[in-house]
Amino acid sequence: MGIVSRGFGGRRRSSRPDLPPGQYLVEDFPVLSAGPTPRIDLGSWEFRVVTEDGSKRSWDWAAFRAMPSEDITVDLHCVTKWSKLGTRWTGVSLDAILGDIETAAEFALVGSYGGYTTNLPLEDLRSGQAWIAYAYDGGDLEPEHGGPARLLVPHLYLWKSAKWVNGIQLLDHDEPGFWETAGYHNYGDPWREQRYWGD
C-alpha cells in the first residue's frame, strides 16, 4: 500500500472483478486522439492486409461490409485510467479477414488514416479477440470514435484499438507503433497494468 493521502476518502469502494488495477469507471465515452479527426470518404475507403512477403489483399467499403459481421459486447480500458464496461459493437472478426491469407508472420503493425500506427503480436488479432468495428451501440461509428471503421482489441489498452484503421502489415519482426515509440508499453495488457515502458 502506498502513502496514505491525508484527508482523501475516495469514492469507489466496491471492488469490481471486471475492473483492471488502476482503472476507474466512466459512463460516457471519452475521446482521446493525437491529432485532428481525419476526413474519410467511403467511396475511396480501403482496408488492406500486406504480408511479410509483400503480397496484398484489399477490401473496399462494399466488400468489407459484405463480410460476415458479429455483434460483440466488450469492456474498454484506456491507459489514461478510464474503463467503460459492456460496450456494444458490430464488426468483422479479424479471423474472417485473415482467414485465407498465407503468412508465417508473428507480428502485426496496424495503420490508420491520418498516419497512426500500433503494433501487436499477430496471435492477439486471432481467435475471436479482435474485430474491425463499424457500428457502436446500434448506430454508425462516429468519426471521433474512429469511424467509419476502427480496430477493436478489447483485451489490450484502447490505444491498440486503432481508430480510422486502413490496414495491417504482417511482419516477421516487431515494429513499435506511434505510442509504443513515445513511452507507452509495447504490449499493453490492462490486467498487468502495462501502461508505460518497463511496466
Q: What residues make contact with other proteins under the rule CB under 8 A?
A: 1-13, 22, 24-28, 30-39, 78, 80-82, 114-115, 144, 178-179, 181-183, 195-199
Nearer to other proteins by Cβ, of 125 and 195: the residue is 195
Q: How far apart are CA 150 and CA 133, in angstroms?
A: 5
Buried b (16+ CB within 10 A) or exposed e, 2-14: eeeeeeeeeeeee
Nearer to other proteins by Cβ, of 70 and 174: the residue is 174
Nearer to other proteins by Cβ, of 24 and 55: the residue is 24
Nearer to other proteins by Cβ, of 122 and 187: the residue is 187
Q: How far is the CB of 44 from other proteins (least distance, A)?
A: 17
Nearer to other proteins by Cβ, of 81 and 88: the residue is 81
Pairing of strands 131-136, 82-93: antiparallel
Q: How far is the CB of 13 from other proteins (least distance, A)?
A: 6
Terminal Cα-to-Cα distance of the chain (whole angstroms):
18
Q: How far is the CB of 26 from other proteins (least distance, A)?
A: 5
| Closest to 199 in 3D by CA, of 152, 154, 163, 157 | 157
Whose cell is 503480397? That residue is 55
Pairing of strands 70-77, 165-171: unpaired
Evaluate the omega torsion of the peptide bond into residue 148 and state whether it is cis, within 30 degrees of 0: yes
Q: Where are the alpha helices (DSSP H) in 9-149?
A: 61-65, 94-98
Q: How far apart are CA 65 and CA 45, in angstroms?
A: 12
Q: How far apart are CA 8 and CA 82, in angstroms?
A: 20
Q: How far is the CB of 191 from other proteins (least distance, A)?
A: 15
Nearer to other proteins by Cβ, of 67 and 114: the residue is 114
